[in-house]
């Protein structure tokens, strides 16, 4: 992503604010595919729609990776740290089979 942006001289545009906004916009495009669907319909997307969703998810991933690069965030490390936090917030014995927020378990 860094090289891709550099080859196009996009660095001035790739500020954290702009990248975060682009990330949110692309996430909205993912959501758009599921709006008004039932849970069952959302689990059984037609192949063409699934492919469109896949490309939107790729956009989300690419903006996320670029934002992490610009901010100097090690995303894999941050994800591991967050999973440890979540394991404490959502212990199996209290969270199993529940969708409640951690402060309501």
- What is the phi/psi pair of residue 29, to 5°? -70, -30
Tens place of pLDDT per residue across the chain (105 aa): 999 999 999 999 999 999 999 999 999 999 999 999 999 999 999 999 999 999 999 999 999 999 999 999 999 999 999 999 999 999 999 999 999 999 899
Q: Is CATH 1.10.287.1080 correct for 1-73?
A: yes
Domain boundaries, the chain: 1-73, 74-105
Residue 10: how many CB atoms within 10 A of its CB? 13
- The pTM of the whole model exceeds 0.75: yes
As given in the structure block, the two tokens for residue 90 are 């959502």
The secondary structure of 30-82 as a DSSP string is HHHHHTT--HHHHHS--HHHHHHHHHHHHHHHHHHHHHHHHHT--HHHHHHHH
Specify the DSSP class assigned to residue 104: G
């Amino acid at each position: 992503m860094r090289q891709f942006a550099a080859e196009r001289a996009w660095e001035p545009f790739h500020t954290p604010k702009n990248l975060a906004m682009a990330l949110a916009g692309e996430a909205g495009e993912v959501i758009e595919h599921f709006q008004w669907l039932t849970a069952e319909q959302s689990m059984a997307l037609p192949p063409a729609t699934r492919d469109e969703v896949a490309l939107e998810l790729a956009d989300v991933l690419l903006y996320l990776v670029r934002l992490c690069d610009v901010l100097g965030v090690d995303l894999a490390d941050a994800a591991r740290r967050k999973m440890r936090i979540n394991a404490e917030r959502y212990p199996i014995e209290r969270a199993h089979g529940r969708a409640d927020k951690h402060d309501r378990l």
